[in-house]
A and B are shown apart, each in its own frame.
Chain A
Amino acid sequence: MEEQAHSAISHSDIVVDLSGVCKTFHQKQRSERIRDIFSNLVRPQVRQVDALKDVTLQIHRGEVVAYAGPNGAGKSTTIKILSSLLTPDSGTVRVLGMDPKLERIRYVNRIGVVFGQRTELWWDQPVAATFEWKRVVWNIPRDRFEKSLEFVKEVLGLHDYFNSLARELSLGQRMRADMGLALLHEPEILFLDEPTIGVDVLAKRNMLDFVKELNRTRGVTIVLTSHDMSELEQLAGRMIMVDRGSIAFDGDFATLRRQFTDRRHLYLETDASTAPVLSSAELVRSDGNRHEFTFDAGVIGISEILEQVSAQTQVIDVETHRVSIDDVIADLYKQWNH
């Protein structure tokens, strides 16, 4: 056992290594016509859905990676493959030097998984009872368990409701308890699949702070999916975007903004109610002497715009804002759909 342990230890800095991973699902198609009832039953048409197409990516130890994409892009399929719940059709998956499906028992002992709105808590039991259940199932030594428990209770603020029944908790409290539960066995990688779905703003912020803290102090590698881009931007140093099963972008958020568009809003207050006419900037609305434009900073600079404005009217006040990351992503999804 001792020998096995040492030979199995991965000294590589790469903890997640996906190479050429493909996954296809089949969906039965049914027509709505009565005359097709028999053929729908006997020989239904089958549509092939390529959930993942030749996905290759590597994640290093200690990284926080946001994994995003529109609905049906392949995010959950990837997380399920990484959590040992699904087998790819082709390609190789190595996480912590192991094949998640073939070495499931050893593997799941080293990872933590949290699926949004799929609680691991025993519904009619106090939170504390589920934590005790986890200690036994994961065979965590008592002293290590006590230490981990103290840590998650403190950082996630579980003290107040640790002895309350799971069914009586709010969604935010339940998600925090689930997160604490996933960390009791000190996993090296944490997979979070939409962990903040349905959670209110404050609870969301607390959870995000906790994830940051966990990564900073314990070096836990974190892969999370979410539809909330500003949340991902706050948290992750790296963004991987999937579209229809393929990786469409892999880099940091600044690069993402630059690569696709560096769209900004410009608010001008002038001495005239007529908006100035600007090349490479689009008028959004005018409200009295206040005019709102959008422009791509990669195409035209702010000084150039101001020169154009000054030539037409007198500027009283200027304000510019970057569009939110959500807007950038929405534009991106729109582009992909076209």
Chain B
Amino acid sequence: MKNSSLTAVDAQFKHNLDLMNFEPLNKFNHLLRLWRVQGYLDLMWMTQDWKLFLTYYASDLFLNIAAVTGVLFLAERFDGIGVWTKPQVTFMLGYAMLVRGIMETLFGYNIFSISRRLGRGQLDHTLVQPHPVWMALLTEGFMPFSGSASIIPGLLLLLWSGTVLALDPTISWLFLALLNVAASATILLSFSFIWGSLAFWAPRATEEISSSASGLLRTLMPFPLDGLSFAMLSGLMTFLPVGFLAWYPARALLGLESDAWSELLTPTVAAIFSIIAVWIFKQGLKAYGRTGSQRYLSFGHRR
């Protein structure tokens, strides 16, 4: 029965510990390796056959264009919307498409719709992996090939509108633009996680809550919010943070806001939302440790 020597056991254990030497630099390298392998899996999936490749891309593209076309038509018909000129509306729509594209590229496989994973008991798969949960969540949804259908059209809209508006981007403006896009994406993700974490406590009832909650934001995000009442605007800038997903950051980047620090408001809000999301998710994880998953569905996991 005791057929392994102590030396062999020691050697194996030491080897295993060496593998998990999570110094910051190793952590970063590990993150890069994880993104790379997820990118590889996504490429393998996309290149199974040409029909899949083309139809998937085309349908994704149609969906994303359809999401912003209504607002674009309104701007075309009325030569702008409220105080926004046509090119400014296009800039905001390009911004919105880019934010959506980033979410779909980085957080596929139901990471963005986290309540599905939690509600279906699929977190167990993450917990048996030898790295922190945040690392798995940050990398496992990376789909650079199949998820990026709205990044290029979004960038094209930004480029076209920027040219028409004669924007002269400086390095600091570009940095602030990138920071705002990342912040808007963070707010969208945090909002999905805040609601999605309810699935830790009510897995069956809230399985779809992430997609419903974020769907609401994604539907409203391409609309300019100028002219709304103070009460309504306050709601859309706090509890339902639609305003920070495209409208306010676009205003700030286009210089329509008079406040000098307006470009930093969206990143600040993103920090607040992400702190709340992390706190709620951690509470949920603790509850999960006590109760575990009472149900398991394989649907949507790694497929």
Binding site for B on A (CB under 8 A): 1, 4-6, 8-11, 13, 25, 60-63, 77, 80, 83-87, 89, 96, 101, 104-106, 108-110, 113, 115, 117-126, 129, 132-133, 136-141, 144, 167, 185-186, 188, 216, 218-219, 237
Contacts and interface: CB of A to CB of B under 8 A. Distances in A.
A84 B124 CA distance: 9
A5 B12 CA distance: 11
- Give the interface size class of chain B: 35 or more
A227 B12 CA distance: 33
| Interface secondary structure of A, over-half rule | loop
Given A124-B45, A129-B44, A219-B2, 8 more contacts: A1-B21, A61-B1, A86-B289, A96-B13, A106-B20, A118-B125, A136-B36, A137-B129
B128 A109 contact: no
A137 B131 contact: yes
A167 B303 contact: yes
B7 to A, nearest CB: 11
Contacts of A121: 302
Given A62-B3, A120-B125, A136-B37, A4 B45 contact: no
Contacts of B10: 6, 9
Nearest to B300: A123
B19 A219 contact: no
6 contacts: A13-B2, A61-B1, A86-B292, A105-B22, A137-B130, A219-B4
A60 B298 contact: no
Contacts of B260: none
B166 interface: no
A137 B37 contact: yes
Nearest to B127: A85
A186 B302 contact: no
A85 B125 contact: no
B17 A1 contact: yes
B160 interface: no
Nearest to A107: B130
Given A119-B298, A123-B302, A188-B12, A60 B2 contact: yes
